[in-house]
Amino acid sequence: MSITPESLMKWVESLDLDCEEACRASVSRAYYAAYHDCLDFHNALPAPGASRTGCGVHENLIYQLQNPSPESKKDPELSKRSKTRAYLLRVIKPFRVQADYSLAINFDKCDADNMTAKALETMKT
C-alpha cells in the first residue's frame, strides 16, 4: 500500500497532541508531507530547476524550486509558486530537524500546530 502527501497530512491532523512525542512526530511528518508534495510539484514542472551539487536531496529540491528552469519562468505564476514553495519548505525544515534530532529542545502543541499550518500552506501554494 502506498500513501500520498495529502493522506500523510490527514494522519498528522488526526494526532492527539497530548504529549511531546506526538508533537515531535507531528512536526516531522508534516514536513515530510510538504516535502513530498513539493517533490511532486517539481516533477510536474516543464523542466527541472537548477540543480546544486554538494548538498542533500532536501536542500537540492529547495534550491531547484527557488531557481526554476527557463521553461518554468515563462509562466510567471508557476515560477512564483515554485519560489514560494521553496521559501516555505526552507522555513519548516529546521523545525523538522530539531523535532527528529534535538531531544533537549522542547516541543509542544503550539509548535506542532504552527508547523502543520506552514506545511499545509506549502501544499496549497
pLDDT of 56: 95
What ranges in 1-125 are assigned the alpha helix state H? Answer: 5-14, 20-43, 57-66, 70-73, 76-101, 109-124
Exposure of 6 in the CB half-sphere (CA atoms within 13 A): 2
Reading the block at residue 78, the C-alpha cell is: 508557476
pLDDT of 78: 96
CB < 8 Å & 24+ apart, contacts of 21-26: 22/112, 23/99, 23/107, 23/108, 23/109, 23/111, 23/112, 24/99, 24/100, 24/107, 24/112, 25/99, 26/112, 26/115, 26/116
Q: What is the pLDDT along the chain (125 residues), one digit of tens a residue?
A: 799 999 999 999 999 999 999 999 999 999 999 999 999 999 999 999 999 999 999 999 999 999 999 999 999 999 999 999 999 999 999 999 999 999 999 999 999 999 999 999 999 99
